[in-house]
Amino acid sequence: MISVFPSTEVAFTDNGLKILKPLKTLIRKEDSGNYYIDLQDTLNDSSGNENLNYYISGNILRVTTPWGEQRFRIKNVSIENKRIYARGWHIFYDAENYIIEDSYVFEKNCNYALDHLNSATDVASPFTTISDVTGEFSYRCVRKSLAQAINDVLERWGGHLERDNMQIAIRQNIGQDRQIVISYGKNIQNIKAEENWNDVVTKLMPVGKDGLKLPEVWLSLDESLYEIPYTKVIHFEQNELNQEDFIDENGNSDETAYNSALENDLRAKGNAYLNQNSAPKVNYTLNAYIEGIVDIGDVIWVKHPKCKIDLLTNVIALEFDVISQKVKKVEFGNFKRGLKDLVGNITAKIEETVEKSAGDTTAKFQKELVEATNSIKSVLGNSYVINGGDKILVLDKLPKEEAQNVMMINSGGIGFSNTGINGTFTSAWLIGGTLDMQNINVINLVADMIKGGTLKLGSNLNESGIIELYDEGNTLIIQLDDNGITIFCSDGRTIKLNADIGFCGYDTDGTSMYWSNGDEFHMKKCVIDNQLEIGGKLRFMPLSSGTANDGVAVVAIT
Query: If pLDDT is split at 50, 70 and 90, which confidence band does 190 have?
Result: low
0.85 exceeded by pTM: no
Contacts of residue 205, defined as CB under 8 A and 6 or more positions apart, other chains included, come to 213, 217, 218, 219, 231, 232, 233, 234
Other beta carbons within 10 angstroms of residue 395's beta carbon come to: 22
- pLDDT band, residue 513 (cuts 50/70/90): confident
pLDDT of residue 312: 79
Beta bridge partners of 303: 183
pLDDT bin (cut points 50, 70, 90) of residue 355 is very low
Cα–Cα distances (Å) from 178 to 96, 244, 294, 322, 517, in that order, read: 35, 51, 9, 22, 94
Note the pLDDT tens digit of each residue in 431-472: 666 666 655 655 556 665 666 666 777 665 446 678 888 887
Residues 506, 495: contact at Cβ < 8 Å?
yes
Read off the amino acid at residue 35. Y
Q: How many CB atoms lie within 10 A of CB 538?
A: 12
Compute the residue count for the chain.
Answer: 558
**442: amino acid identity, one letter:** V
Instruction: Give the separation between CA 3 and CA 21, rounded to whole angstroms.
Output: 9
Residue with more model confidence, 72 or 506: 72
Q: Which secondary structure element, helix H or strand E, spans residue 353, and what is its range?
A: helix 339-358
Q: How far apart are CA 293 and CA 296, in angstroms?
A: 8
| pLDDT tens-place string over residues 286-341 | 777 777 788 888 888 877 767 667 777 888 899 999 999 998 888 888 775 433 33
Predicted pLDDT at 175: 87
Residues 6+ apart with CB under 8 A from 117: 100, 103, 105, 129, 141, 146, 149, 150, 153
226-283 residue pLDDT tens: 878 889 999 998 888 888 888 888 888 888 888 899 999 999 999 999 888 888 887 7
Backbone angles phi, psi at 110, to 5 degrees: -65, -40
Most confident by average pLDDT, 38-47, 345-354, 513-522: 38-47
C-alpha closest to that of 288 among 209, 219, 188: 188
* Pairing verdict, β 203-207 and 160-164: unpaired
Q: How confident is the model at residue 110 (pLDDT cuts 50, 70, 90)?
A: very high
- At 414-431, the pLDDT tens digits run 888 887 877 776 677 776
112 burial type by CB count under 10 A (0-12 exposed, 13-18 middle, 19+ buried):
middle
Pairing state of beta strands 326-333 and 18-20? unpaired
Burial class (CB in 10 A: 0-12, 13-18, 19+), 558: exposed
439 in helix, strand or coil? Answer: coil
